[in-house]
């Protein structure tokens, strides 16, 4: 039988410097998640406008519709990779 509440999993902050370092770490990681979230929403918005035919944003670099969607999926993959990297930074 285990008692998970007997010992806390994290130690309390004992110094001002440690608290400042922890605060900076949290701010840096949450800003990373916020940036990835903003880029994700921007990419979803562009995909919706591309799908409905409202815009052809990738037309200058890709001629056919398939190439344009290919560019979009490459951008989506980049956002997913950066999101995974920022999430990994928080979990470690």
Q: Per-residue pLDDT tens for 58-77?
A: 778 888 888 888 888 898 89
pLDDT given for residue 41 in this prediction: 92
Q: Are 58 and 68 in contact (CB under 8 A)?
A: yes
Would you say residue 13 has pLDDT above 60? yes
The angle formed by the CA atoms of residues 73, 54 and 38, to the nearest 5 degrees, is 50
Domain-wise residue ranges, the chain: 22-91
> Which pLDDT belongs to residue 6?
63
When pLDDT is cut at 50, 70 and 90, the band that residue 1 belongs to is: very low
* pLDDT digits 0-9 by tens, 22-68: 888 888 778 888 888 898 899 899 888 888 888 877 778 888 888 88
62 in Cβ contact with 70 (< 8 Å): yes
Cα–Cα distance, 32 to 24 (Å, whole number): 12
Based on the number of CB atoms within 10 Å of its own CB, is 33 exposed (0-12), middle (13-18) or buried (19 or more)?
middle
């Amino acid at each position: 039988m285990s008692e998970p509440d007997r010992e806390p999993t994290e130690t309390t902050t004992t110094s001002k410097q440690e608290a400042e370092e922890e605060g900076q770490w949290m701010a840096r990681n949450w800003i990373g998640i916020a940036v990835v979230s903003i880029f994700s929403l921007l990419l979803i918005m562009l995909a919706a406008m591309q799908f409905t035919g409202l815009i052809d944003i990738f037309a200058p670099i890709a001629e056919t519709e398939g190439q344009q969607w290919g560019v979009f999926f490459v951008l989506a993959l980049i956002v997913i990779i950066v999101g995974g990297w920022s999430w990994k930074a928080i979990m470690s």
